[in-house]
Amino acid sequence: MKIKKGDTVMVITGKDRGKSGKVKLVFRRDFRVVVEGVNIVKKHKKPAKQGEPGGIMEFEAPVHISNVMVMDPNKGKPSRVGFKFDKDGKKAKTRVSKKSGAKLS
């Protein structure tokens, strides 16, 4: 999985195309991510118990991982993610931006 929690991503397709935000949750099994301020949906909630409020709840729904791209830290534009391995023969693998080669956190 090339996108992780805390990454800044931009939506590249769909109703929220062009919006960007931080990744809050990653659902690895479903290949979906929840991004702050993106894909806001409304859900009508009925009160479950007496005294509990009902109403219309707004929350961020998951977006498929193929619809987002990681933002390049240097250029501020969306970029693909690549991997670099340590030259010392160790198995240290780091994520890098394909656009500028900058290391991703």
Strand ranges in 46-105 using DSSP code E only, listed in sequence order: 55-60, 63-64, 68-71, 78-79, 81-85, 93-97
CA atoms of 34 and 39, how far apart (whole Å): 8
The owner of tokens 């935000």 is 21
Please tell me the CATH code under which domain 8-97 is placed: 2.30.30.30
At 87, is the pLDDT very low, low, confident or very high (cuts 50, 70, 90)? confident
Percent of the chain with pLDDT over 90: 79
Show me where the domains of the chain are located: 8-97
**Strand, coil or helix: 65:** helix
Per-residue pLDDT at 37? 95
pLDDT tens string 43-53? 999 998 898 88
The pLDDT of 62-66, averaged and rounded, is 97
Sequence letter at residue 56: I
Q: Which two tokens stand for residue 42?
A: 């409304």
Higher model confidence: residue 60 or residue 89? 60
